[in-house]
Structure 1
């Protein structure tokens, strides 16, 4: 995980959490009936297919972009992670990460 973060690759949890939040938002209810769930899944699949086609055709998909404050926070955390080898006291390293977790 350290290497993935250091190299700027997304973490699995973030991707899965974003997908789960998107799916829950699309469903709009906590416990849909079987038929409603099937209809929602089919319409969600159409949306995913449309986004895929837009990416293939080099257009921007209809997804939201991260807010700039989150991008800046990620940049600060990445800078801390990349400086891991330069910090002699690992407690100071953890403090630096903790300070960058709060916005």
Structure 2
């Protein structure tokens, strides 16, 4: 597939950064970021975390708990104690058998796992299937 000169710079960037350029002797040089570093296949098949969304969500939660940018020392300590009590209560509820909140991305994760576990013979069809699942 020929993309033309307009795409050469972006393709060169991705090749140098993530794949590695081909040297004169047809051997690829090491990319800036190794494939093992950025590839999410193993994390997806093992149902591991692929993003830092949980850390960002907790950061938002702490921001809503404090409700101000610069609390006094005493307000800060009291809010930390309140948050510690809330987390402790959640842990006790989970240990007592209360079901956890369902993650709204469970269906997406299952569809994505299905697409990569049963790959299409045609790479373009595979990419389209992944893109369709992401766009849902």
TM over 0.5: yes
Q: Could you tell me the TM-score, scaled by structure 2's length? A: 0.54
Q: Which has the higher contact order (CA 8 A, sep 6+)?
A: 1
1:40 maps onto 2:79 in alignment? yes
Q: State the distance in 2 between where 1:3 and 1:18 align.
A: 24
Gaps of 5+ in 2: 1-39
Q: Could you tell me the TM-score, scaled by structure 1's length? A: 0.66
Number of aligned residues: 96
Match of 1:66 among 103, 106, 114: 103
Gaps of 5+ in 1: none
More helix by share: 1
Give the greater-gyration-radius structure (CA): 2
For residue 50 of structure 2, what is the aligned residue in structure 1? Answer: 11
